[in-house]
A = this chain, B = another copy of it.
Amino acid sequence: MKDIIQIREVGLRDGLQLSKTKLSTETKIKWLKQQFKSGFREIEVTSFVPPTILPQFNDATKIVYEANKIQNFLPSVLVPNLKGGLVALDNKSKKINFVLSASEMHNKSNVNATIQKSLSMFKDLIIERDNRGLKNDVIISASIATSFGCSIQGKVEQNKLIEICEKLILMGANELNIADTVGYANPKQVNQIFKNLLQISGNIPVAAHFHDTRGMGLANVKSAIDQGIKRFDASLGGLGGCPYAPGATGNIATEDCVYMIESMGFHTGIDLIKLLNLRKSLAKWMIKDTLYGNLLNAGLTKTNN
């Protein structure tokens, strides 16, 4: 029996955060339903952030409502602070990804808080969930941005990342999502960081979120797999980008990531033919944006057709 590796689509959140095209709510729902049908069991469907800052997510309530109707499906939402987390709870979100950064300067820039303040809000969100009697119903994951380096402050000390993760685990995080937000990670560093992280994470699942900003996205996935990581984020068509490098590529492309992982003999549960068909639709929807990913043009091989 093949080992399972889970790929979580984040295009509807990370991909749309910087996109030039604004998708209608209907198209977003069509996208998430088709992606579910191609085998994805977890999709980051939206973000509970102030609409004044990111108006493209002003339909978050509607999206979560529709996503919650799908059976055997885990829609997750991103929140940048306690307030967003409470709105997510109010909206019956099944999984909440609370984002904070390993870089103090990035955290300030991204969520306008010190890391200490973010950690304190994370703890309050866990407490609030538990007080509402939702401990077994709502998963709270911590997404640690700029874990491999920061385009504002530069180097991020690994000790700092580990320390933050230890605190998040003590506070009751149900998952850690280690993110290379700005494409600084290299495969050697990925090996080292996950090796050390897995020594302290115990039973808490650890996911990896890589960007392909400098072309190393899938090489980093390979390195993380070598260390035992079984959960990866990816964005269909590599939709996204990097806020600090105009014109640069964004998240790793879901289709290429799935293809590599399946080729390596793991089971993702994803139907690549269906996924590539959705990828073609995405190109029609995102008319103002450049999409990436090599598999669509190359096609599958004779050995895996």
For the complex formed, measure the closest distance between the CB of A241 and the CB atoms of chain B, giving whole angstroms.
Answer: 10
A263 to B223, CA, bound (A): 14
The 9 A-B residue pairs with the shortest CB-CB distance, nearest first, are A215-B256, A186-B263, A154-B302, A248-B298, A215-B294, A188-B264, A219-B222, A218-B219, A247-B297
Smallest CB gap from A255: residue in B: B215
Interface positions of A from 78 to 108, Cβ below 8 Å from B: none
Report whether over half of chain A's contact residues are helix, strand or loop; otherwise say mixed: loop
* Count, chain A residues at interface, CB 8 A: 45
Interface positions of A from 277 to 305, Cβ below 8 Å from B: 293-295, 297-299, 301-303
A189 to B293, CA, bound (A): 21
Q: A242-B298, A297-B249 are in contact. Are A215 and B303 (CB under 8 A)?
A: no
Chain B residues lying within 8 Å of A213, measured Cβ to Cβ, are 294, 298
A260 to B245, CA, bound (A): 18
Known: A184-B303, A216-B263, A242-B298. 13 other contacts (CB 8 A): A183-B298, A186-B263, A214-B259, A214-B295, A214-B298, A214-B301, A216-B259, A219-B219, A222-B223, A226-B226, A245-B297, A247-B297, A249-B297
